[in-house]
Amino acid sequence: MVAWQFLVKPVLRNVRGFDEVEWRGEKFKLKQKYLDYEEYKSDSDQLAPGEVERVKQFHGSYPCSEVRQFRQGVDSLNFQK
C-alpha cells in the first residue's frame, strides 16, 4: 500500500492524469495533475492561480435567460393530486 501511494501513483499521475477540466465548453487549467475524479474532488484548491479570475469572468458572462425561462416554466406547472 505504501509503494502504491509514494511510487506508483505519482508515476501514473504524470502519465495518465488530467490537468485541465472542461466546463460549459471552456477548458480551465488545474493546479496539478489528478489521477482520477475522487482525487480531484477531495482537493479543495484545484484551479491554477491564474484561472480563478477567468472562471469568475466566464461565470459572470454566462447568459442566465435560459435558466430563468426554465425556472418560470417549472414554477408554472400544476401537479395533480
- Number of structural domains in the chain: 1
pLDDT digits (tens, 9 = 90+) for 41-81: 888 888 898 888 888 887 777 666 666 666 666 666 555 44
Q: Which residues contact 51 (CB under 8 A, 6 or more apart)?
A: 28, 29, 30
Residue 52 lies inside a defined structural domain of this protein: yes
Residue 62 lies inside a defined structural domain of this protein: yes
Residue 79 lies inside a defined structural domain of this protein: no
How many C-beta neighbours within 10 Å does residue 41 have?
Answer: 10
pLDDT at 10 over 60: yes
Q: Is the entire prediction scored with pTM above 0.75?
A: no
Alpha-carbon dihedral 29, 35, 41, 47, rounded to 10 degrees: -20
Q: What is the mean pLDDT of residues 16-39?
A: 84
pLDDT at 43: 86
Show the domain range for 20.
2-73
pLDDT at 76: 61
Residue 29 lies inside a defined structural domain of this protein: yes
**Bigger pLDDT: 81 or 15?**
15
